[in-house]
Amino acid sequence: MKIIKLEKKSDKKNTFEVFFDDGKNILLSADIIVKFGFNKGVEISDHIYKEAISADKTYRIIFDALTLVGRRAYSEKTLYDKLLQKGYEEDNSKAAIARLKELEYIDDEKYALNYTKYLFGKGKGEIFIRVELAKKGISKDLTDKILSSLKTEEEEYEQIIKTIKIKFKNFNADNPREVRRAANYFLRRGFSSEDISKAFRRIS
């Protein structure tokens, strides 16, 4: 079939509509048109026609994925889920993720390290952090590695004591109501009951 016209779409950035003499018409990005040498009067086979459509889908999903990671950090899982939400097929989404990994635009280890530092800074405990990283698709082994790399000489119960002195200035470990209130606060932030009890004992 022969290309009879290329028309730039004013409502779609970097996109052209390609018309063929058999009545077909498709939308392709300018990059794909250049790559395949599409121009008025050019004869193309059915194979090249299908290949161009497939290449355009890949180009668009990678472009969208790059736009997303340019706005905020993503793990492989969260970016994959986002692409599916945008209506892309599973295979194309996986291919885009693989390409962005090659280009080093997404890196689960770097993402997990930065996210863990952020959560630590928010006063979250190890249990909470493990749950949050699992939601982002971070493996247990990588989580163990990240947490181990960020371990300091300060124990978690010491972090609890430090927070109590700031947030619960008049804390009385002999007052059951205050103990329950403080314990619930730290449990919600992912600290273990053992570390909480140890901190309370040290304070009392």
Predicted local confidence at residue 154, as pLDDT: 58
Structure token digits, residue 182: 């403080």
Question: Could you tell me how many residues make up the chain?
Answer: 204
Same domain, 68 and 116: no
Which residue type sits at 68?
A: L
113 and 195 belong to one structural domain: no
Residue with token string 């962005």? 100
* Rounded distance between C-alpha atoms, residue 28 and residue 57, angstroms: 9
Mean pLDDT for 38-48 is 90
Q: Is the pLDDT of residue 204 over 70?
A: no
pLDDT of residue 139: 95
Query: Between 9 and 80, whose confidence is greater?
Result: 80
Using the Cα atoms of residue 113, residue 119, residue 120 and residue 125 in order, give the sign of their dihedral.
negative
Which helix (H) or strand (E) segment holds residue 12: the answer is none
Quick one: 83 and 171 in the same domain? no
- Over range 49-69, report the average pLDDT: 89
For residue 133, the model assigns a pLDDT of 96
Residue 131 pLDDT exceeds 90: yes
Q: Are residues 55 and 93 in the same domain?
A: yes
Q: What is the band of 109 on the pLDDT scale with cuts at 50, 70, 90?
A: very high
Residue 162: predicted pLDDT:
82
Lowest-pLDDT range, 29-33, 57-61, 172-176?
172-176
pLDDT tens figures, 137-177: 999 999 999 988 887 645 777 888 888 887 887 787 778 88
Range of the domain at 172: 153-204
Q: Average model confidence (pLDDT) for the chain?
A: 88
Among 25-29, 90-94, 101-105, 169-173, the range scoring the smallest mean pLDDT is 169-173
Read off the pTM: 0.66
Range 37-62 average pLDDT: 89
Residues 111 and 91 in one domain: no
Task: Tell whether 33 and 93 lie within a shared domain.
Answer: yes
Are both 133 and 197 inside the same structural domain? no
Residue 106: per-residue pLDDT = 94
Q: Please determine, for residue 97, whether its predicted confidence score (pLDDT) is greater than 90.
A: yes
Provide the pLDDT for residue 152. 62
Determine how many CB atoms are found less than 10 A away from the CB of residue 136.
Answer: 18
Residues 80, 32 share a domain: yes
What CATH number has the domain bearing residue 72?
1.10.10.10
The residue assigned the tokens 């290329």 is 6
Instruction: Identify whether residues 90 and 137 lie together within a single domain.
Output: no
Co-location of 18 and 98 in the same domain: yes
Q: Higher model confidence: residue 122 or residue 154? A: 122
User: How many domains, the chain?
Assistant: 3
| Same domain for 112 and 44 | no
Domain boundary among 63, 85, 102: 102
Give the domain CATH number at 145: 1.10.10
Helix axes 76-85, 90-102, angle to 10 degrees: 140
Task: Starting at the earlier edge strand, list the strands of the sheet with 3-8.
Answer: 3-8, 15-20, 25-29
Which of 67, 83, 102 finishes a domain?
102
142 plus 66 within the same structural domain: no
